């Protein structure tokens, strides 16, 4: 049986759009708190200002999914990218903390809509039989942005200041608008949904509840590591710890097409159980690591764990629904992802304070493996009920 074509000119434009959108956010991520400090904020206020984007994104996420399933995804993405770019550019004129917080909230709103709409919109250019592989390659754009964006943003800030960095970041969203404007698109929104009132099932796909909780576990691991890895390295006097993220990114890029094909041919449950085991081992090596080599081993397990598990879950859920409902499928998984990113570092701080890094990370790894296995079993039973 001949495979449906994935690699087309339109699909290549989609990947470029995702890369530019990711660069816009990742360039500014490491400098927002520093910028807040430069305009007179204390450390707590600066952290709060930086975190407002995540909180706003979490609140908007379900409504973004419903919006994408009721209206033109192309128009939504163009409008959201324009708003995102303007919000990023406005950072450079915010000289008070209330103004900066307001802009961060607006940035989070547009970021959330862009993130959900990009997944739903991109699915229209991927054959259903190759959805896992296609979404896997799409996810590479995010990984590349995560690897290049922070470095580019920090170097640009050193060379030209905060204002130039925020303006260049906003410029990336303008590239997105141009790409989206010229790309032909067959609308997948539902006119019937648009005419009736908003329903709960359009905000949250209950059939994917356990998948959402699994996404929460994977993103919690990523949030804990990204927050505390550098601090652990300082405490244990381990140099060059950024190599963890470099290795994580390289292996995630290498594994994404492979896991995509496995998802399309063998199913998601063949991926997520090994992914949870690898995620737990990653947390174990971070918690007990006393050398750079142990952190690099953790990075390898992390790429095979949360680096592969989270995008596989998202691709699987989008694949299970018709394309008119891709928005709510994507936003349901992103609810768990946003909660994990926002809550895990805060909750983890209490356990670290009480038990230390080694016990806290080892315990978190064990919890992720056990809870992941339970959630996977529960989702398997739920999926069997829906398919039956």
Q: What average pLDDT does range 167-190 have in this prediction?
A: 86
Whether 187 shows a pLDDT value over 70: the answer reads no
Higher-scoring residue by pLDDT: 54, 2: 54
Helix, strand, coil shares of the chain, percent, nearest 5, are 85, 0, 15
Structure tokens at 299: 């990075």
In the prediction, which pLDDT does 34 show?
A: 78
What is the end-to-end Cα distance of the chain in Å, rounded?
27
Higher-scoring residue by pLDDT: 43, 332: 332
In the prediction, which pLDDT does 116 show?
A: 85
In the prediction, which pLDDT does 200 show?
A: 63
Confidence of residue 198 (pLDDT cuts 50, 70, 90): low
The tens digit of pLDDT for each residue in 324-342 reads 677 788 888 888 888 887 7
Q: Rounded mean pLDDT of the chain?
A: 85
Residue with tokens 């087309």: 8
Coil, helix or strand at residue 66: helix
- Top mean pLDDT of 153-162, 347-356, 369-378 is at 369-378
In the prediction, which pLDDT does 1 show?
A: 46
Sign of the C-alpha dihedral computed for residues 19, 273, 265 and 251 taken in this order: positive
In the prediction, which pLDDT does 232 show?
A: 86
The answer to whether the CB of 149 falls within 8 A of the CB of 25 is: yes
Domains in the chain and their CATH numbers?
A: 1-184 (1.20.1250.20), 204-388 (1.20.1250.20)
In the prediction, which pLDDT does 252 show?
A: 84
In the prediction, which pLDDT does 223 show?
A: 81
Q: Which residues contact 191 (CB under 8 A, 6 or more apart)?
A: none
Residue with tokens 């989206």: 180
Whether 110 shows a pLDDT value over 60: the answer reads yes
Whether 193 shows a pLDDT value over 70: the answer reads no
User: Which long-range contacts does 291-299 make (Cβ < 8 Å, 24+ apart)?
Assistant: 291/238, 292/238, 292/239, 292/240, 292/241, 292/243, 295/229, 295/233, 295/238, 295/241, 295/243, 295/244, 296/243, 296/244, 296/247, 298/225, 298/244, 299/243, 299/244, 299/245, 299/247, 299/248, 299/251
Length of the chain in residues, anyone?
388
Q: Burial of 266 by CB count in 10 Å (0-12 exposed, 13-18 middle, 19+ buried)? A: exposed
In the prediction, which pLDDT does 153 show?
A: 85
């Amino acid at each position: 049986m001949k495979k449906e074509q994935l690699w087309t000119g339109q699909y290549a434009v989609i990947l470029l759009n995702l890369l530019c959108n990711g660069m816009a956010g990742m360039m500014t991520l490491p400098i927002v708190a520093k910028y807040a400090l430069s305009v007179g904020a204390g450390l707590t206020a600066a952290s709060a200002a930086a975190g407002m984007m995540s909180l706003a994104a979490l609140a908007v996420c379900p409504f973004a999914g419903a919006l994408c399933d009721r209206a033109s995804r192309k128009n939504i993405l163009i409008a959201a990218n324009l708003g995102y770019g303007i919000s990023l550019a406005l950072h450079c004129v915010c000289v008070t903390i209330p103004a900066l917080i307001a802009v961060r909230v607006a940035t989070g709103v547009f970021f959330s809509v862009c993130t959900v709409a990009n997944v739903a919109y991109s699915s229209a250019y991927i054959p259903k039989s190759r959805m896992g592989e296609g979404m896997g390659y799409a996810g590479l754009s995010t990984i590349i942005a995560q690897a290049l964006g922070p470095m580019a943003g920090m170097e640009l800030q050193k060379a030209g200041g905060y204002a130039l960095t925020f303006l260049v970041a906003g410029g990336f969203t303008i590239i997105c608008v141009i790409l989206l404007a010229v790309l032909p698109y067959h609308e997948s929104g539902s006119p019937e949904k648009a005419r009736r009132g908003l329903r709960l099932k359009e905000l949250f796909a209950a059939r994917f509840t356990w998948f959402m909780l699994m996404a929460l576990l994977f993103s919690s691991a990523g949030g804990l590591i990204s927050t505390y890895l550098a601090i652990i390295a300082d405490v244990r006097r381990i140099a060059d710890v950024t190599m963890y993220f470099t290795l994580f990114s390289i292996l995630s890029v290498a594994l994404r097409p492979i896991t995509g094909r496995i998802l399309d041919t063998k199913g998601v449950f063949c991926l997520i159980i090994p992914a949870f085991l690898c995620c737990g081992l990653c947390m174990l090596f971070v918690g007990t690591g006393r050398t750079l080599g142990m952190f690099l081993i953790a990075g390898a397990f992390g790429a095979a764990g949360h680096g592969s598990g989270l995008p596989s879950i998202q691709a699987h859920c989008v694949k299970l629904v018709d394309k008119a409902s891709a928005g709510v499928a994507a936003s349901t998984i992103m609810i768990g992802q946003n909660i994990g990113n926002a809550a895990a570092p805060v909750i983890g701080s209490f356990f670290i304070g009480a038990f230390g890094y080694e016990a806290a990370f080892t315990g978190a790894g064990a919890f992720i493996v056990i809870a992941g296995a339970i959630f996977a079993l529960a989702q398997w039973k739920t999926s069997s009920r829906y398919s039956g």
